Amino acid sequence: MKEVLLHLGIPKTGSTALQVFFARNYGALLTRSIDYFRMGEFDRGLKGRIAAGNGVQVACSLLPAHHQRRITDGERYLGELERMIEASPAERGLLSSELFASADHQKLAAFIARLAASGLRVRAIYYIRRQDQILSSSYIQQVRLHGYTEPPDAYVRNLATRNDILRYHSFHRTMTGHFGNENVMCRIYEEAVARENGVFGDFLDAAGIAGAGLSFAVPKVNASIPDRQVAILLLLNRFRPGKQFVDMVIENADKSARELGRHSLLSRPLRAEIAALFREENAKLARESFKRAELFAPDPLDGPEDPLASSELTVEDLVVFLGGLLVRFDGRLSETGKIARAAAAEAGVALPEPSLEQGKADNATIRAPADL
C-alpha cells in the first residue's frame, strides 16, 4: 500500500451516507485498488445503519482526554489498522470517521507520522457546510436522540462559540500543518450534493476514484426532519419517553421525511448572528483556498421570524407522524400475539385465534347509532 486517505468528516456533512456507500461498494472499490478497511463500524455501514465509520476506534484513540468518546487504550486498534495495511492488496486505503475532526492535535500529528514512517503517503479529505446548517442539524439530533425540550437559541449559541471546527480557516490551517498543504482536500457540502450522484460522486472525483460501475443506490441514513416534526418531538420529549418508544417515533419520522434543501428552523436574528460570528473566518478560507470572495451562497434570511414557534401542525402532519407510530404498535402487537400463541401451543394450552366473525361484530358494535 502506498497511500492512506483519511476522511475526517466533518460532522453533519453526509459522513454516515458516505460510510454506507463505501461499505456497500467494498468489492467494487477493491477492483480500483481502494481498500475501505473492514474494521470499526464497517458492518453497521454495510447494513445501512447509523455509524461512525470504519475508523471510529482509531479516531476515538486520538481524541482529547476530556472527550466522552475517547478510548484510553487505543493501541490495539492502531495495531489492527497497521496489520490491515500490511495485508491489503490495494495501493490505497480509506479510513473514515467524522471523529477525526475532533482529534487532539498532538495525537493526530503522531498518528500521521507513524503511518508516514511505514512509507505511506497520508492524505485527508473533509467537507464543510454553512455553519447555521450544521448547528441546526446538531440541534435536531439533540431533540431526536437526547430528549432535548428547549428552543434552539441557547444550544446553538453555546455550540457556535465553543466548537473550533466551525472556524473553517483556522481548522484548515491546522490540517494543512499536519498533513501538508498538498495533501488536504477541503470540499463544500452544499456544492457536492447538487452534483450528479451527490456527495458520493464529489468524493470520488476529489479522491481520483473512477465511479463507473459503483452502486449509488444508498438508502437514506440519519435523515433530517422538517420543522413541524421537530416541534412535535419537542412536545413529546416533555413526557420523557423511553428509548424504544422514541426509536419508533424517529423511524416513522425518517420514513415520512422528505429531502431537505436546507434547514430553516433558526430565527432570522440568530442566523444573522451566526453569519456575523464566522464571516471573517469564511472569507479568509474563500480567498486563500477557493480563490473567490464568498465561501457559501448568501443566506436570504427569509421565512418566519421564529420558525418553530410559528409552525402550524395540520391534521395530515399528525396522521403521518402519530398514525405511522400507531401502525407500528399494531404490527408489534400482532407479532406478540403470534409469539404468545406459539408459546401456549408448546405448553399445551389452546388460545383462541382472532376470528373474522368477531372482527365483524366488533365493527358493527363500533358503528351502532347508540355509540355515535
Q: How far is CA 362 from CA 154, 354, 356, 357, 367, in A?
A: 51, 11, 10, 9, 9
CATH number (domain holding residue 38) = 3.40.50
| Any domain includes 114 | yes
Q: Which residue has the cell 351502532?
A: 368
| Any domain includes 67 | yes
| Any domain includes 212 | no
Could you give the CA distance from residue 260 to residue 224 in angstroms, rounded to a whole number? 7
| Any domain includes 8 | yes
Q: Which domain holds residue 81?
A: 3-129+166-207
| Any domain includes 59 | yes
How would you classify the pairing of strands 184-188 and 3-7? unpaired
Could you give the CA distance from residue 144 to residue 253 in angstroms, rounded to a whole number? 10
| pLDDT string in tens for the chain (372-residue length) | 899 999 999 999 999 999 999 999 999 999 999 999 999 999 998 888 878 899 999 999 999 999 999 998 899 999 999 999 999 999 999 999 999 999 999 999 999 999 999 999 999 999 999 999 999 989 988 888 788 888 899 999 999 999 999 999 999 999 999 999 999 999 999 999 999 999 999 999 999 999 998 999 887 766 666 777 788 788 888 888 777 776 666 666 555 555 455 667 888 889 999 999 999 999 999 999 999 999 998 877 666 677 676 566 666 666 666 666 676 666 666 777 777 777 777 777 766 665 555 444 444 444 444 433
Domain count, the chain: 1
| Any domain includes 106 | yes
| Any domain includes 363 | no
Distance between terminal CA atoms of the chain?
Answer: 75
| Any domain includes 32 | yes
Give yes or no for a contact between 266 and 156, defined as CB atoms under 8 angstroms apart. Answer: yes
